[in-house]
Amino acid sequence: MRGFVVAVLLLSALLAGCSGGPSVPAEVVIESKPAEEIHSEDPSEPFEAVFTPSPKTRGHIAGVVVDEAIRPIEGAHVHLPGLDLERVTDRDGSFGFVDLHPGPYFITVNASGYFDAEAVLQVEEDEFTRAKVILTGIPPPDPYRVQQSFEGYTELTSDPLFGFSFLCTACDFDFYVDRPGLHTLMIEAVFEGGTTDNGFYYDAYSGNSRFDSGSAGNPMRLEARQDDIPGEDDSFYLRIDPQSFPVPEQSKRFQVYVTAFYNEGPPTGWSFVAGDP
């Protein structure tokens, strides 16, 4: 019957079989009306069609892409693969295709951060097929952390005024950190003797680029966000030397802990040395 159009939703089985994508697709809702009957939910605000029908032998598709809270999604890609036509949604999430031959059209919708949507729309002569596409957001990946530990040793601690000691047996540490998903890199060091203002002198490198250096107390805690670490190298180097003032100490052992947090940063003030889980 003229004025109505059939929409067939292709759900998760089609998505999994065709694209190998997530098993949970976006929900697609299709509401079709003749162009002259299109109106808003508020009768006092008539819908003004953006796409004016031209020849009466052609049909049209007008739609909007929104999220689960019915907020418009700008920049979503709407594609008619059979015609190799694509539209990108504007600020209010709308898109349209005009002057289409009557018949069925396979339509796909995708946007960054959302599951894809797919459907078959039936376009009728001299009518607008209205499509409301609700995209389901892809949940963020679970946060996790990876920790590495090292044992350091120096025959004689250095003086804060002179920086590194030449008598440090184990003060240079190479380690690797996967970059994809990295949120925060935390480096901690501690030696026995209680809390002191002058604890360590350190240089931290990503590849050949130094991203931090200086002195810190005991225990030491260095926190670096992914955006603060130059390059994309997964190889890191740490030079760290225990200090004591005013008198050097002999045979000083210390521990170094490197904790990489993925997909989410650590809680404020988190410290492995302090005993936080």
pLDDT in tens, 25-45: 344 464 434 444 433 344 444
Token pair 């988190």 is at which residue?
270
Per-residue tokens: 35: 């162009």
Q: Say if residue 56's pLDDT is above 90.
A: no
Shared domain check, 215 and 151: yes
Q: Which has the closest alpha carbon to 182: 143, 209, 221?
A: 143
CB atoms within 10 A of CB 270: 17
Shared domain check, 182 and 91: no
Domain with 178 in it: what CATH number?
2.60.120.380
Split into its structural domains, the chain has a count of 2
In terms of residue numbers, what domain contains 228?
144-262
Domain with 68 in it: what CATH number?
2.60.40.1120
Shared domain check, 243 and 152: yes
Over the stretch 2-30, which tens digit does the pLDDT of each residue have? 333 333 333 333 333 333 433 333 444 64
* Mean pLDDT across 194-210: 87
Over the stretch 205-261, which tens digit does the pLDDT of each residue have? 999 999 999 989 999 999 999 999 998 899 999 999 988 877 788 888 999 999 999
- Does the pTM of the predicted model rise above 0.75? no
User: Looking at the domain assignment, is residue 272 inside a domain?
Assistant: no
66 with 29: CB under 8 angstroms?
Answer: no
User: Looking at the domain assignment, is residue 149 inside a domain?
Assistant: yes
Shared domain check, 234 and 125: no
Question: Among residues 135, 164, 182, which one ends one of the domains?
Answer: 135
User: Looking at the domain assignment, is residue 268 inside a domain?
Assistant: no
**Cα Rg of the chain, angstroms:** 30
Per-residue tokens: 104: 């069925």
Shared domain check, 164 and 125: no
Q: Which has the closest alpha carbon to 137: 195, 70, 64, 193?
A: 70
